[in-house]
A and B are shown apart, each in its own frame.
Chain A
Amino acid sequence: MAACSSSRAVRSILLNCGKYSRTPRRPAHSLNPQLLYRHVCQSAAVWGKNLAAAGPEKFSEEYIKKQIEEFSIGKRHLANMMGEDPETFTQEDIDRSIAYLFPSGLFEKRARPVMKHPDIIFPKQSAIQWGEDGRPFNFLFYTGKQAYYSLMHEVFGKVLAIEKRQDRLRNEDTTDIKQISLTGSRWMLKEELEDLLVETMSDHDYSRFLQLMERLVALPYSSLEEEFVQRFRQQLGVQSSKQEIPALQHDEKGVAFCQANGRRKTASASITLRDCRSGNIMVNGKSYLQYFPILQDREQLMFPLHFVGMLGRFDVEAHVEGGGRSAQAGALRLAISRALLSFVSSGEMETMRQAGLLTSDPRVKERKKPGQAGARKKFTWKKR
């Protein structure tokens, strides 16, 4: 009796050991209590199982739900441990606390202890696609890409519906023709669409999807499906809202001035733009006519001021070092444009951005590579 219960306990422990070790299934009635059979951990090779073909490990919904509950309870415990308010305990606080409680010296960040919401940790999987009798739920299951094809069917159905409506309304009235405006957003990327459908797709499939959506959007009465279409579009943020405007300061005489920096290649410039009515420009203590004898460089300096129409208004005191003649001029131009932002309205700022005045030129000298004479130039090619 004691042997029987111990063997059952051992068997239950070994059953939880993981899927790689499976004890041979024995029907309960043939269990001989006198025999203590040895549990041998066998690898899947013995069973002839191709574990890779089974795909990623599938987690059931209740399991994920349980994990989420455990996570939220654990979060509250952690907050109590750290002496903080459990209600306002954010993910950053969790990361900080875990790093504090379990300091890890491992270099690989992904190998360190982590506590995140189960939705982030467990990959999104589609639920089991077939019922008890083995029949799949979706009629497109045997295409292999059921989510993709059912989406394409849906979109095409909408296209047909709109065309039908168009035919009906063509004779009646033409006042309702509204099209979806696509400005300010972009189509979802292939990766984002894959995340949405929880299904992989090829580039060809993705381009076909985009073609169909474009066709839908191009139809006259497409505004009916605006909500549906916007689901597949990502909004683009207003680019100019990310622009930092340097602070406007006032000196003792009440003259407004602004300081800004700019860089181009190896040249760096820092300027002070003063709002007096004179248009003097001093670079490194010299007049700009002396410092930049070439017309092209002086034009670069003047361009931002001329663009906003404030040529004679400002006094520029500039300090520039590094780079060559053209790079210094470019650096100064960027600095002047940035300093002008605080004197200019947001509409003008947007036009400046469009004109390329506020973008720092990313071009730098390309490094020389080993085995080549220069950055791109190769040594003489000898056939033999």
Chain B
Amino acid sequence: MPELEVTFTVTVMKSVTLQEVNLNSTLCNYYFFSVNSKFINMIMQDGNKVLSTEIVTQTLEAIKRKQVEKYHKAPAAEREAIECNPYTIFHQALENCKPVIGLANIQKGSRTYQVPIPLTEKRRRFLAMKWIITECRDNKHRRTHMYEKLSQELLSAFANEGNVIKRKHELHKMAEANRAYAHFRWW
């Protein structure tokens, strides 16, 4: 596992009450970023965190292997463009999968309309992660391992291809189609 330099920038506000400090213990865990630990929790089933951390580490390892293989095979001119750090690939893939706008079911009269609404950063992150995981669970071949499926999906999302990106674009198209109902939103 690569050593990561995580600098703690903590503003020293001496009079901050305890409620304002985040009690989440894994947030301050220095080896994992908060996004990474969220992803692990989302993959986890029946509380088996050991298994889900193993899957994620194997995924990152697989990504690294594939990228290094590509790096060595590529000619010298293209080598700089190939990203080898699995963490940056993971974050960038996640960014690419995040939807900008979402849909909400708003009932007006007897009809339920799909109204385009803005999404918070948390919700966007959650949706991107959820889509990646469900895509890997459902649509892939039964015999491949989860980490294999995940690494494939993440690499294609990094390159802006793949089913998850397609799903994001479909959502955007639906929102664009339902633009007329945007005024139904009251918040």
- Residues of chain A touching chain B, judged by Cβ–Cβ distance below 8 Å, are 183-185, 236-240, 294-296, 299-300, 303, 306-307, 330, 333, 347, 350-351, 353-357, 359, 361-362
Residues 21-32 of chain B, each 1 if its beta carbon lies under 8 Å from chain A, else 0: 111110111110
- Bound Cα distance A306, B18 (Å): 23
Contact B8 A351 (CB under 8 A): yes
A359 near B8: Cβ-Cβ < 8 Å: no
Say which residue of B15, B22, B49 sits within 8 Å of A184 (CB atoms). B15
Q: Is the CB of A295 within 8 A of B53?
A: yes
Chain A neighbourhood of B22, CB < 8 A = 356
**Interface extent on B, as a size class?**
20 to 34
Residue in A closest to B27 when the chains form the complex, CB atoms? A356
Interchain CB contact (< 8 A) of B23 among A183, A333, A359: A359
B8 to chain A, nearest CB (A): 7
On chain A, the residues within 8 Å of B53 by CB distance are 295-296
A361–B25 Cα distance when bound, in Å, is 9
Query: In chain B between 107 and 148, which residues have their CB closer than 8 angstroms to a CB of chain A?
Result: none
Contacts of A295 in B (CB 8 A): 53
Q: Are A354 and B21 touching (Cβ within 8 A)?
A: yes
Q: Is the interface of B mostly helix, strand, loop or mixed?
A: loop
| Closest A-B pairs by Cβ, 5 of them | A236-B15, A184-B15, A354-B10, A238-B14, A355-B28
Q: List 29 A-B contacts (CB under 8 A).
A: A183-B15, A184-B14, A185-B15, A237-B15, A238-B14, A239-B16, A239-B17, A299-B29, A299-B30, A300-B25, A300-B29, A303-B28, A303-B30, A307-B8, A307-B28, A330-B25, A350-B12, A350-B14, A351-B10, A353-B21, A354-B10, A354-B12, A354-B13, A354-B16, A354-B21, A355-B8, A359-B18, A359-B23, A362-B23
A347-B18 in contact (CB<8A): no
Give Cα distance in the complex from A357 to B24, angstroms: 10
A330 to B31, CA, bound (A): 16
One of A236, A347, A357 near B17 (C-beta < 8 A): A236
Write out the residue numbers on chain B whose beta carbons fall within 8 Å of the beta carbon of A239.
Answer: 14-18
Closest to B14 in A: A238
Q: Which residues from A are CB-within-8-Å of B29? A: 299-300, 303
Q: A236-B15, A359-B21 are in contact. List 5 more A-B contacts (CB 8 A).
A: A237-B15, A239-B18, A299-B29, A350-B14, A355-B28
Known: A299-B31, A356-B25, A359-B18. A183 touches B13 (CB 8 A): yes
Give the residue among A296, A300, A361 with the most B Cβ atoms within 10 A. Answer: A296
Q: Tell me how far the C-beta of B38 lies from the nearest C-beta in chain A, rounded to whole angstroms.
A: 15
B28 contacts which of A185, A236, A350, A356 (Cβ < 8 Å)?
A: A356
Cα(A185)–Cα(B16), bound, Å: 10
B8: chain A residues within 8 A (beta carbon)? 307, 351, 355
Q: How far does the alpha carbon of A165 sit from the alpha carbon of B44 in the complex, in Å?
A: 62
